[in-house]
Amino acid sequence: MASRLAGQVVLITGASSGIGEALAREVARRGGRVVLAARRTERLEALAGELRASGGEAIAAACDVTRDGDVERAVAQAIEAFGRLDVAIANAGFGVMGRVEDLSLDDFRRQLETNVFGALRTVKAALPELKRARGGVALIGSASGYLAFPTMGAYTMSKFAVRALAETLRAELHADGVAVTHVAPGFVESEIRRIDNAGKLLDGAREPVPRWLILPTPTAARQIMDAIAARRAEVIITGHAKLGVSLARHAPALLNAAIARLPRKGRRARG
């Protein structure tokens, strides 16, 4: 699997922390060349320096996926630095929590702008180069793209949409030789559960998910990159996510009955 990425150029949005940061390290470990894209440029520069110091090739590209033109500029930097783009990973995202009746329309707009339109901007910016390279695009969704829980309506809407986008693209791009991989993680080590509804990291906020249930990001990154390198249609990360998705597919009535009994108040952990 590693040799399939050697020398390839991989763009990763949301690369400044969590899964995106771990994916960058994994791509570099496999000999790929990395384009790190995110808003927090100081983190990107530090990570790019770390990867280069260990013998890898990496550049940092300031990029806000909610702004038109930013991802196009990141793609242009990739072409300028490396001459091509083989894989784009739409990873940037966060989660808005709360009951539908309590959230404002702006809360939903902010959620969809990042998680859905951010992924769409990434795809549209990268597609000309990916078609030229007959490469691959990966959309980082969530197990919540199959499972709708109370107080997670905005987030699950966004992740259902990401899954729909992946399935649509897979059919549309098949003849162009571009592979589309939908990634559905469960609970993975990340800052996402310590970010508020405005997308701000809460310093000192506690991790709401039990530690034993959280998969380390390096492990998740290896599984994700294995799937991308193999051009798989989908990969579901963590055992609990696989169980939940299986229930959604094969026993929806049982799953819905269980979800109906969940508490209706408070924030829920995102997976």
Which residues are identified as catalytic? Answer: 155
* Ramachandran assignment for 134, one of left (phi > 0), alpha (psi -120 to 50 degrees), beta (any other): left
What torsion do the CA atoms of 187, 191, 192, 193 make, to the nearest 10 degrees? 70
- Cβ-based burial of 8 (10 A; exposed 0-12, middle 13-18, buried ≥19): buried
SS3 141: coil
Nearest to 270 by CA among 102, 156, 162, 181: 156
46: tokens are 């530090």
**What single letter denotes the amino acid at residue 160?**
F
SS3 131: helix
DSSP per residue, 21-76: HHHHHHHHHTT-EEEEEES-HHHHHHHHHHHHHTT-EEEEEE--TTSTTHHHHHHH
Are 140 and 220 in contact, with CB atoms under 8 Å apart? no
